[in-house]
Homo-oligomer: A and B are copies of this chain.
Amino acid sequence: MESNSSKYEFMAEPFHCDFNHHLFLGHLGNHLLNASDFHSSEHGFGVVYLNTINSTWVLSRLAIEMSEMPGEYEMFTVETWMENIYRFFTNRNFVIEGLDGKVYGYGRSVWAVINKNTRQPIDLLSVMDGTINKYIMPERQVPIDKPSRVKMSDAAKVAGSVVAKYCDLDLNGHVNSVKYIEHVLDLFSMATYKKNRIQRFEIAYVAESHYGDTLTFYREEMAENEFNIAIKKSEPGSDEQVEVCRSKVKFVND
Protein backbone atom coordinates (compact mmCIF):
# COMPACT_ATOMS: atom_id res chain seq x y z
CA MET A 1 0.00 0.00 0.00
CA GLU A 2 1.25 3.44 -0.88
CA SER A 3 2.10 5.57 2.10
CA ASN A 4 0.46 8.95 2.45
CA SER A 5 3.31 10.35 4.52
CA SER A 6 6.31 12.13 3.03
CA LYS A 7 9.77 12.80 4.37
CA TYR A 8 11.85 15.90 3.63
CA GLU A 9 15.52 16.47 4.37
CA PHE A 10 16.88 19.62 6.01
CA MET A 11 20.18 20.80 7.45
CA ALA A 12 20.71 22.51 10.79
CA GLU A 13 22.45 25.45 9.10
CA PRO A 14 25.13 27.19 11.17
CA PHE A 15 23.34 30.57 11.26
CA HIS A 16 20.15 28.77 12.35
CA CYS A 17 21.85 27.35 15.45
CA ASP A 18 21.97 28.88 18.92
CA PHE A 19 24.96 29.36 21.22
CA ASN A 20 24.53 25.75 22.38
CA HIS A 21 25.25 24.71 18.75
CA HIS A 22 21.78 23.27 18.25
CA LEU A 23 19.04 24.30 15.85
CA PHE A 24 16.81 27.13 17.10
CA LEU A 25 13.26 25.92 17.78
CA GLY A 26 11.91 28.73 15.55
CA HIS A 27 13.85 27.39 12.55
CA LEU A 28 12.68 23.85 13.34
CA GLY A 29 9.11 25.24 13.35
CA ASN A 30 9.80 26.75 9.93
CA HIS A 31 10.94 23.35 8.63
CA LEU A 32 7.74 21.71 9.96
CA LEU A 33 5.69 24.36 8.13
CA ASN A 34 7.73 23.78 4.95
CA ALA A 35 7.21 20.02 5.21
CA SER A 36 3.45 20.57 5.65
CA ASP A 37 3.40 22.83 2.62
CA PHE A 38 5.44 20.45 0.44
CA HIS A 39 3.29 17.48 1.51
CA SER A 40 -0.03 19.18 0.75
CA SER A 41 1.29 20.49 -2.59
CA GLU A 42 2.49 16.98 -3.50
CA HIS A 43 -1.05 15.67 -3.11
CA GLY A 44 -2.66 18.55 -4.99
CA PHE A 45 -4.14 20.54 -2.11
CA GLY A 46 -1.29 22.96 -1.46
CA VAL A 47 -1.61 26.73 -1.33
CA VAL A 48 -1.08 27.03 -5.09
CA TYR A 49 -4.27 25.02 -5.69
CA LEU A 50 -6.13 26.65 -2.78
CA ASN A 51 -5.33 30.11 -4.16
CA THR A 52 -7.26 29.13 -7.30
CA ILE A 53 -10.34 28.69 -5.10
CA ASN A 54 -9.56 31.90 -3.17
CA SER A 55 -8.58 30.09 0.00
CA THR A 56 -5.44 29.18 1.93
CA TRP A 57 -4.11 26.97 4.74
CA VAL A 58 -3.79 28.52 8.17
CA LEU A 59 -1.95 26.99 11.09
CA SER A 60 -4.12 26.93 14.19
CA ARG A 61 -2.04 24.98 16.72
CA LEU A 62 1.44 23.50 16.90
CA ALA A 63 3.05 21.34 19.58
CA ILE A 64 6.66 20.15 19.40
CA GLU A 65 8.33 17.77 21.82
CA MET A 66 12.05 17.09 21.51
CA SER A 67 14.40 14.69 23.26
CA GLU A 68 17.31 16.39 21.49
CA MET A 69 17.75 19.15 18.91
CA PRO A 70 19.74 18.54 15.70
CA GLY A 71 23.26 19.96 16.11
CA GLU A 72 25.16 22.38 13.85
CA TYR A 73 25.45 20.99 10.27
CA GLU A 74 23.45 17.83 11.06
CA MET A 75 21.12 16.61 8.33
CA PHE A 76 17.71 15.52 9.54
CA THR A 77 14.34 14.62 8.09
CA VAL A 78 10.83 15.79 8.84
CA GLU A 79 8.20 13.18 8.03
CA THR A 80 4.62 14.39 7.96
CA TRP A 81 1.12 13.08 7.31
CA MET A 82 -2.49 13.98 8.08
CA GLU A 83 -3.88 11.92 10.92
CA ASN A 84 -7.49 12.96 10.47
CA ILE A 85 -9.71 15.41 8.66
CA TYR A 86 -12.73 16.94 10.32
CA ARG A 87 -15.13 19.39 8.74
CA PHE A 88 -13.20 22.53 9.66
CA PHE A 89 -9.75 21.33 10.61
CA THR A 90 -7.16 18.64 10.06
CA ASN A 91 -4.58 17.11 12.38
CA ARG A 92 -1.11 16.82 10.92
CA ASN A 93 1.71 14.92 12.64
CA PHE A 94 5.49 15.10 12.37
CA VAL A 95 8.51 12.96 13.21
CA ILE A 96 11.93 14.62 13.28
CA GLU A 97 14.70 12.06 12.72
CA GLY A 98 18.42 11.95 12.10
CA LEU A 99 19.65 10.25 8.92
CA ASP A 100 20.67 7.29 11.09
CA GLY A 101 17.05 6.90 12.20
CA LYS A 102 17.51 8.42 15.64
CA VAL A 103 14.28 10.19 16.63
CA TYR A 104 14.91 13.78 17.77
CA GLY A 105 11.26 14.50 18.47
CA TYR A 106 7.68 14.76 17.33
CA GLY A 107 5.14 17.37 16.41
CA ARG A 108 1.39 17.70 16.23
CA SER A 109 -0.48 20.47 14.48
CA VAL A 110 -3.99 21.61 13.67
CA TRP A 111 -4.76 23.41 10.39
CA ALA A 112 -7.81 24.97 8.78
CA VAL A 113 -8.51 26.16 5.27
CA ILE A 114 -9.97 29.66 5.20
CA ASN A 115 -11.59 31.80 2.54
CA LYS A 116 -9.12 34.59 1.78
CA ASN A 117 -11.78 37.30 1.78
CA THR A 118 -14.04 36.33 4.67
CA ARG A 119 -11.17 34.74 6.69
CA GLN A 120 -13.76 32.11 7.67
CA PRO A 121 -12.95 28.38 7.62
CA ILE A 122 -14.29 26.40 4.70
CA ASP A 123 -15.51 22.80 4.77
CA LEU A 124 -12.41 20.63 4.23
CA LEU A 125 -14.50 17.82 2.82
CA SER A 126 -15.53 20.14 -0.01
CA VAL A 127 -11.90 20.67 -1.08
CA MET A 128 -11.15 18.67 -4.25
CA ASP A 129 -14.63 17.06 -3.98
CA GLY A 130 -13.62 15.41 -0.73
CA THR A 131 -10.70 13.47 -2.17
CA ILE A 132 -8.42 15.15 0.38
CA ASN A 133 -9.96 12.65 2.80
CA LYS A 134 -8.26 9.70 1.14
CA TYR A 135 -4.81 10.82 2.33
CA ILE A 136 -5.42 10.47 6.06
CA MET A 137 -3.57 7.94 8.20
CA PRO A 138 -5.63 7.68 11.42
CA GLU A 139 -3.64 4.67 12.60
CA ARG A 140 -0.35 6.63 12.65
CA GLN A 141 -0.05 8.42 15.94
CA VAL A 142 2.87 10.21 17.54
CA PRO A 143 3.72 9.53 21.22
CA ILE A 144 3.19 13.08 22.51
CA ASP A 145 0.19 14.87 23.97
CA LYS A 146 -2.11 16.84 21.71
CA PRO A 147 -1.89 20.64 21.83
CA SER A 148 -3.58 21.62 25.09
CA ARG A 149 -5.72 24.54 26.16
CA VAL A 150 -3.15 26.87 27.70
CA LYS A 151 -4.69 28.47 30.80
CA MET A 152 -3.76 31.90 32.11
CA SER A 153 -4.69 33.48 35.44
CA ASP A 154 -4.53 37.05 36.71
CA ALA A 155 -1.09 36.21 38.08
CA ALA A 156 0.40 36.50 34.56
CA LYS A 157 2.87 39.38 34.32
CA VAL A 158 4.10 41.39 31.36
CA ALA A 159 7.39 39.79 30.31
CA GLY A 160 8.10 41.88 27.22
CA SER A 161 6.68 43.67 24.23
CA VAL A 162 7.59 44.29 20.60
CA VAL A 163 6.20 46.39 17.79
CA ALA A 164 5.58 44.32 14.62
CA LYS A 165 8.01 45.42 11.91
CA TYR A 166 8.76 44.61 8.26
CA CYS A 167 10.71 41.38 8.91
CA ASP A 168 7.91 40.09 11.18
CA LEU A 169 5.41 40.01 8.32
CA ASP A 170 4.50 37.03 6.16
CA LEU A 171 3.27 36.84 2.57
CA ASN A 172 -0.17 38.02 3.67
CA GLY A 173 1.10 40.98 5.68
CA HIS A 174 0.28 39.26 8.99
CA VAL A 175 2.83 38.58 11.68
CA ASN A 176 4.58 35.37 10.59
CA SER A 177 3.79 32.19 12.61
CA VAL A 178 7.52 31.54 13.04
CA LYS A 179 8.24 35.07 14.31
CA TYR A 180 5.73 34.64 17.16
CA ILE A 181 7.72 31.55 18.20
CA GLU A 182 10.99 33.52 18.13
CA HIS A 183 9.49 36.38 20.16
CA VAL A 184 8.26 33.86 22.77
CA LEU A 185 11.72 32.23 22.96
CA ASP A 186 13.24 35.70 23.38
CA LEU A 187 11.32 36.16 26.66
CA PHE A 188 13.78 33.81 28.36
CA SER A 189 17.28 34.72 29.43
CA MET A 190 20.61 33.43 28.20
CA ALA A 191 21.07 31.91 31.69
CA THR A 192 17.88 29.85 31.19
CA TYR A 193 19.16 28.47 27.86
CA LYS A 194 22.60 27.77 29.33
CA LYS A 195 21.09 25.50 31.98
CA ASN A 196 18.11 24.06 30.12
CA ARG A 197 16.75 22.98 26.80
CA ILE A 198 13.16 23.16 25.57
CA GLN A 199 11.44 19.83 26.06
CA ARG A 200 7.98 20.85 24.85
CA PHE A 201 6.70 23.93 23.05
CA GLU A 202 3.10 24.75 22.16
CA ILE A 203 1.49 27.63 20.37
CA ALA A 204 -2.13 28.36 19.42
CA TYR A 205 -2.85 31.09 16.88
CA VAL A 206 -6.05 32.89 17.89
CA ALA A 207 -6.12 36.05 15.78
CA GLU A 208 -3.98 37.89 13.24
CA SER A 209 -1.77 40.88 13.98
CA HIS A 210 -0.39 43.44 11.56
CA TYR A 211 2.42 45.91 10.89
CA GLY A 212 2.73 48.49 13.68
CA ASP A 213 0.74 46.50 16.24
CA THR A 214 2.30 46.35 19.70
CA LEU A 215 2.54 42.76 20.90
CA THR A 216 2.58 42.42 24.67
CA PHE A 217 3.71 39.11 26.18
CA TYR A 218 2.10 37.97 29.44
CA ARG A 219 3.88 35.14 31.19
CA GLU A 220 2.97 32.91 34.13
CA GLU A 221 5.15 30.24 35.74
CA MET A 222 2.90 27.18 36.18
CA ALA A 223 5.49 24.85 37.70
CA GLU A 224 9.25 24.82 37.85
CA ASN A 225 10.51 25.39 34.27
CA GLU A 226 6.99 25.48 32.83
CA PHE A 227 5.58 28.73 31.51
CA ASN A 228 2.27 29.75 29.96
CA ILE A 229 2.28 32.81 27.72
CA ALA A 230 -0.47 34.95 26.22
CA ILE A 231 0.32 37.43 23.43
CA LYS A 232 -1.99 40.41 23.09
CA LYS A 233 -1.94 42.99 20.33
CA SER A 234 -2.90 46.64 20.49
CA GLU A 235 -3.25 48.55 17.25
CA PRO A 236 -1.34 51.80 16.71
CA GLY A 237 -2.92 54.60 18.74
CA SER A 238 -5.10 52.23 20.78
CA ASP A 239 -4.70 50.79 24.28
CA GLU A 240 -7.26 48.06 23.73
CA GLN A 241 -5.63 44.65 23.88
CA VAL A 242 -6.83 41.65 21.88
CA GLU A 243 -5.38 38.20 22.34
CA VAL A 244 -3.55 36.80 19.30
CA CYS A 245 -1.66 33.73 20.61
CA ARG A 246 -1.26 31.41 23.57
CA SER A 247 1.91 29.47 24.07
CA LYS A 248 3.49 27.07 26.55
CA VAL A 249 7.18 26.44 27.06
CA LYS A 250 8.52 23.57 29.15
CA PHE A 251 12.24 23.47 29.84
CA VAL A 252 14.19 20.49 31.07
CA ASN A 253 17.64 20.24 32.55
CA ASP A 254 19.07 16.89 31.37
Contact = CB atoms under 8 A, between A and B. Distances in A.
B26 A167 contact: yes
A40 to B, nearest CB: 12
A166 B188 contact: yes
B169 A18 contact: yes
A171 B14 contact: yes
Contacts of A169: 18-19, 190
A30 B13 contact: yes
Interface stretch (A80-88, A177-185, A199-207, A239-247): A177-185
A186 B171 contact: no
A68 interface: no
A171 B21 contact: yes
A155 to B, nearest CB: 24
Interface residues of A, number: 37
Contacts of A166: 18, 185-186, 188-190, 193
A227 to B, nearest CB: 14
A17 B171 contact: yes
Given A190-B166, A190-B211, A190-B212, A172 B30 contact: no
A103 interface: no
B185 A19 contact: no
Given A24-B167, A211-B190, A178 B33 contact: no
Given A26-B167, A186-B165, A186-B166, A33 B19 contact: no
Contacts of A172: 19
A33 B16 CA distance: 11
A226 interface: no
Nearest to A189: B166
Contacts of A34: 13-15
A170 interface: yes
A120 B169 CA distance: 38
7 contacts: A14-B37, A15-B34, A18-B167, A19-B169, A166-B188, A167-B185, A169-B190
Given A15-B170, A18-B166, 13 more contacts: A13-B30, A13-B34, A14-B33, A15-B177, A16-B30, A21-B171, A165-B186, A166-B190, A166-B193, A167-B182, A167-B186, A168-B186, A169-B190
